[in-house]
Every structure is written in structure tokens, then in C-alpha cells.
Structure 1
Amino acid sequence: RSFRDSEGRQIPPLGHYAGEFGNGMKRRKLGYVEARRKIYLPTYKKALETSMSAAFNKLRAICQTEKVALLDYSTNGDVEDTTRPLSHAHLLRLYMLKKYPRC
């Protein structure tokens, strides 16, 4: 299957590949759920633990004393549900509750 770029030309799908460039191993495309688990979830978690940790800790402190509503464009918190994008708000909530999905 191919896709069209912004100028209407057919291009092959790039997808998400397992392995690194130049390691000599044959690389394979990851499935959508596998890519979420191996790429997206660990990267998002790392961001919460490092570059976003100060903001996240501030949010956590506010949640101790006030009700907080996290708004998002989507409400999908199920990694296995590929019909909709994952919800950032849901992932934040799960991380705060120490129930972040398995990576």
C-alpha cells in the first residue's frame, strides 16, 4: 500500500522500525500497538520524568488540594485501541496514579 504526499505523489509508508540504523541487523516494521509500547509510551514517560517533571510535580501538588479536569482532544486511554489516538490527559492521569501502561 502507498500513500500520497502533499503534492499528490505516491510514496511508500515509512512506519516505525525495530532496531537502529547501521547495526547490521535486518530491521522490521513494528505494528501500531507494538510501536506505541516500544516507542511512544517509554518516550512520553521519560519526558514526564525529566523535562516535564517540574510541571508535573506542580500539577500533582494542585491535585492534592483541588479537583482538576484534564482536557484532551481524545479520550482513548487504551493502548490496544488503535481506532483513536492515545489521550495525553489519560496517560497523565495513569502516571499520577502509578498505573502507567506497560511499555
Structure 2
Amino acid sequence: MKRSVDFARCVFVPRYHVENVPAGSTIYDVSSYAEPPYCELSPMWVHGGIPVPGTSGETSDTVEGVWQGLKIIRGKTAPRYFRGPGAKRGGKPSGHLFGAKHLGVVDARRLIYVPTYEWVIENRISPELVRAFINAARAGVTQYFHDVGDNGDPNDADQPLAHAAVLVRYLNRIAAR
């Protein structure tokens, strides 16, 4: 019997989560504040060589670098964010650049953020770690993943998307195969 991995909406108080996790389940902090190897699942983690969607061969050091670098603020993107540790970019974005297209946040999540984050899972995260999550799910262990964000809905454009939700959707899809 295959089981899914559960996404726990986050109130970033790990002690609260640890004390309230149902018996037999496991909780993982996958934020940049987590211990290795779980912190490597953060979009801020420097992995290097991450393809930037919608470009001709550009790469980024972080998922966050892709997201911030392709953000259009005052009519411009900032490819300098592709280099170095993940950092937030100030200003109100009007969208994201994907090739020559100007995308709204929901489409940008679908065409830029999710594929980039999933590429990192498949190409930069230890296959043993991913396999352990999937094996535990298939064995019926409920797993809760959280980060500093609490929006698990990629269609909710009013809040930043929690990368833990993207991770969980990916794990559920792979575990169901």
C-alpha cells in the first residue's frame, strides 16, 4: 500500500511541531535554518550549475537566485542574483521574465520556480535522502515537512510559496509511481 507524504502548514516554531506530531510520524525542517542534510533542500542553499529556465544556457548557484534574478522590478531583471548565496531582492515586482515573456507570479511559479526546485532535487540532492523519504512514505510513515513559509498553494499569489509544499508534491508524485 502506497502512502503519501503530508505537508504540514508551518508556524515556524519547531518545538510546537515536534510536540504535536502524531505518534509514528516524522517532522523535517527543510529551511535554511535546518541541520544538514535537510538545509540543502532550502532554495537558498548554494548548489551551483542550476539551469535558469527561459534563458540560453544561463546557470545559477541557487534556486532563490533564479527566482530573484528573473524578477522584473522597475522594468529590469537582475542576473547578478544568479551568483552567490540566495538573497531576497527589494522592490515591488511586476512579474518574472521567461524567455521574452513577462509572467505573473502564478505562471512564474509553474514555469520557473517549480521546475528549478525539482531540478535541484533530482540533480543536487542526495538520491539516498530522497529515496529514504519515499521509502518511509511507502512504508506508511507520515512525514511532515516545513520551512519558514506557510503558503502551500501555488495559485495563492498574495503570499510567497513555501518550498516545502513543492518538495512534498514532488515526493508524493514519485512515491505514487
- CA-to-aligned-CA distance 1:22-46 (integer Å, 9 cap, x gap): xxxxx23211111111111111111
CA contact (8 A) 1:77 1:87 kept: yes
- Structure 2 counterpart of 1:30, which letter? L
Say yes or no: does 1:71 pair with 2:153: no
Map 1:1-103 → 2, pairs under 5 A = 12-14=74-76, 15-19=95-99, 27-54=100-127, 55-63=129-137, 64=139, 66-98=141-173
Aligned mates of 2:165, 2:136 — CA distance in 1: 17
Higher relative strand content: 2
Structure 2, gaps ≥5 residues long: 1-72, 77-94
The structure 1 segments of at least 4 consecutive aligned residues displaced by more than 2 Å after TM superposition are 58-69
Return the offset for 1:65: 6.3
Aligned mates of 1:67, 1:36 — CA distance in 2: 27
State the structure with more CA Rg: 1
What RMSD, in angstroms, separates the aligned Cα atoms of the two structures? 2.4
Structure 1, gaps ≥5 residues long: 1-10, 20-26
Return the offset for 1:67: 4.0
What fraction of aligned residue pairs are identical, expressed as a percent? 34
- CA-to-aligned-CA distance 1:67-99 (integer Å, 9 cap, x gap): 433122122121110111111222222111118
- Structure 1 counterpart of 2:132, which letter? K
Return the offset for 1:66: 4.2
CA contact (8 A) 1:70 1:89 kept: yes
Aligned mates of 2:152, 2:96 — CA distance in 1: 21
